[in-house]
Chain A
Amino acid sequence: MSDAISPLKGHAEPCTAGRGAPGVELAERALVSLVQVAAWPDTAEQVEGIVASLTGCAPPQGPSGSSGDAEGAILAIAPGRWLVESRDPRLAQRLAGQIGPDLGAVTDLSHARVAIRVSGPKATWVLAKGLALDLHPTAFPPLKVAQSAIHEVGVILRRVSPDNLGGESFDLYVYRGFALSFWDWLTEAAAETGYRVSRPGSA
Chain B
Amino acid sequence: MSGYRLPQSGLGVGQAIDRGKPLSFTFDGKRYQGFAGDTLASALLASGVDLFGRSFKYHRPRGLISAGVEEPNALVTLRSGARAEPNTRATVVELFDGLEAVSQNRWPSLGFDVMAVNGLAGPILSAGFYYKTFMGPTRKAWMFYEHFIRKAAGLGAGTTLADPDRYEEMNAFCDVLVVGAGAAGLMAALAAARSGARVILADEQAAPGGALRGDAVASDLLAELAALENVTLLPRTTVYGYYDDNTLGAVERVADHLAVPSEGQPRERHWTIRARRVVLATGAIERPIVFGDNDKPGVMLADAGRIYVQHYGVAPGEQVALFTNNDGAYRSVAALSAAGAKVTAIIDARRTIGAQAQAIAQASGAELLLGHAVTRALGGQRISGIAVAPFDPARGASDTARQIAADCLLVSGGWTPTLHLASQAGGAARWDDTLTAFLPGAPTQPWRAAGACNGALGTAAALAEGARAGTEAAESCGLAAPAVTLPKIADEPLADAPLPVWDARPPHGKGKAFVDLQHDVTASDVSLAHREGFRSVEHLKRYTTLGMATDQGKTSNVIGLALMARERQLSIPEVGTTRFRPPYTPVSLGALAGQARGGHFRPTRRTPMHDWHIANGAEMIEAGLWLRPRIYAQGSETVEQAYVREARQVRESVGMVDVSTLGKIDVQGPDAAEFLNRVYSNGFLKLPEGKARYGLMLREDGFLWDDGTTWRLSDTQFLMTTTTANAAPVLTQLEFLLAAVWPELKVAVTSVTEQWAGMAVSGPKSRAVLAAALSDIDVSNEALPFMGVRKGSLDGMPVLVARLSFSGELAYEVYCGAHHGEAVWTRLLAAGKPFGMIPYGVEALGTLRIEKGHVAGPELDGRTTAADLGLGGMVSSKKTFIGSSMLDREGLTDPRRLKLVGLVSADGGKIRAGAHLVAADDKGQPPKSLGHVTSTTYSPALEKYIALGLLEDGPQRIGEKLVATYPLKNIDVAVEVVSSHFFDPDGSRMHV
Contacts and interface: CB of A to CB of B under 8 A. Distances in A.
A189 B269 CA distance: 11
A176 B666 CA distance: 17
A17 interface: yes
B170 interface: yes
A40 B746 contact: yes
Interface stretch (A48-56, A57-65, A123-131, A159-167): A123-131
A9 B265 CA distance: 27
Contacts, number: 144
Contacts of A109: 750, 752, 754-755
B863 to A, nearest CB: 29
Contacts of A12: none
A191 to B, nearest CB: 3
A149 to B, nearest CB: 10
B603 A112 contact: no
B265 A192 contact: yes
Interface stretch (B649-657, B815-823, B870-878): B815-823
A140 to B, nearest CB: 10
Interface string A1-29: 10111110110000001110000000000
B171 A188 contact: no
B169 A129 contact: yes
Contact of B605 (A107, A132, A177): A177
Interface size class of A (residues with CB under 8 A): 35 or more
A111 B754 contact: yes
Interface in B604-634: 604-608, 610-611, 625-626
B550 interface: no
Interface residues of B, number: 55
Interface string A63-107: 000000000000000000000000000000000000001101111
Nearest to B743: A41
B819 A128 contact: no
A185 B670 contact: no
A182 interface: yes
Nearest to A193: B264
Interface in B774-833: 795-797, 817-823
A19 B603 contact: no
A139 B746 CA distance: 35
Nearest to B173: A134
Contacts of B753: 112, 177
B554 interface: no
A7 B660 CA distance: 14
A191 B263 contact: yes
B668 interface: yes
A130 B169 CA distance: 7
B979 interface: no
A172 to B, nearest CB: 14
Given A19-B263, A133-B171, A181-B603, A107 B817 contact: no
Contact of B606 (A7, A36, A185): A7
Contact of B171 (A3, A113, A128, A182): A128
B755 A101 contact: no
Contact of A3 (B263, B670, B823): B823
A178 B603 contact: yes
Given A180-B606, A181-B604, A175 B754 contact: yes
A120 interface: no
A198 to B, nearest CB: 19
For A113, A175, A189, which residue has the most chain B Cβ atoms within 10 angstroms? Answer: A189
Nearest to A101: B716
A32 to B, nearest CB: 11
A132 B264 CA distance: 22
Contacts of B600: 151, 181, 184-185, 188
Contact of A177 (B626, B668, B796, B823): B626
Contacts of B266: 192
B15 interface: no
For B596, B670, B717, B819, which residue has the most chain A Cβ atoms within 10 angstroms? Answer: B819
A113 B263 contact: no
B910 interface: no
Contact of B819 (A4, A10, A134, A136): A4
A176 B757 CA distance: 11
Nearest to B265: A192
B602 interface: yes
B171 A129 contact: yes
Contacts of A6: 819
Interface string B814-858: 000111111100000000000000000000000000000000000
A19 B795 CA distance: 46
Contact of B756 (A7, A111, A139): A111
Nearest to B826: A3
Contact of A4 (B607, B669, B670, B820): B820
Contacts of B625: 178
Given A101-B716, A105-B668, A4 B754 contact: no
Contact of B750 (A17, A38, A113, A151): A38
Contacts of A153: 603
A133 B173 CA distance: 8
Contact of B820 (A3, A9, A128, A191): A3
A181 B595 contact: no
A110 interface: yes
A107 B668 contact: yes
Given A130-B169, A177-B607, A188-B595, A17 B668 contact: no
A193 B262 CA distance: 11
Contact of B264 (A18, A101, A151, A182): A18
B897 to A, nearest CB: 38
Interface string A145-171: 000000111000000000000000000
A202 to B, nearest CB: 18
B748 interface: yes
A101 B818 CA distance: 25
B723 interface: no
B603 A111 contact: no
Nearest to B798: A108
A110 B173 contact: no
A181 B600 CA distance: 8
Contacts of A101: 668-670, 715-716, 746
23 contacts: A6-B819, A40-B669, A101-B669, A105-B668, A107-B752, A109-B754, A111-B756, A111-B819, A111-B820, A112-B753, A112-B755, A113-B754, A129-B170, A129-B171, A151-B596, A152-B602, A152-B603, A176-B819, A177-B605, A177-B753, A181-B604, A189-B595, A191-B263
Given A128-B170, A177-B607, A194-B264, 16 more contacts: A3-B795, A5-B819, A18-B263, A101-B670, A107-B666, A111-B757, A111-B820, A128-B171, A129-B171, A132-B171, A134-B274, A136-B173, A180-B604, A181-B603, A182-B603, A185-B595
The 6 lowest CB-CB distance pairs between A and B, nearest first, are: A191-B264, A3-B823, A105-B668, A105-B748, A134-B173, A112-B754
Interface of B: 166, 168-173, 198, 263-266, 272, 274, 595-596, 599-600, 602-608, 610-611, 625-626, 666, 668-670, 715-717, 746, 748, 750, 752-757, 795-797, 817-823
Interface of A: 1, 3-7, 9-10, 17-19, 36, 38, 40, 101-102, 104-113, 128-134, 136, 139, 151-153, 175-178, 180-182, 184-185, 188-189, 191-194
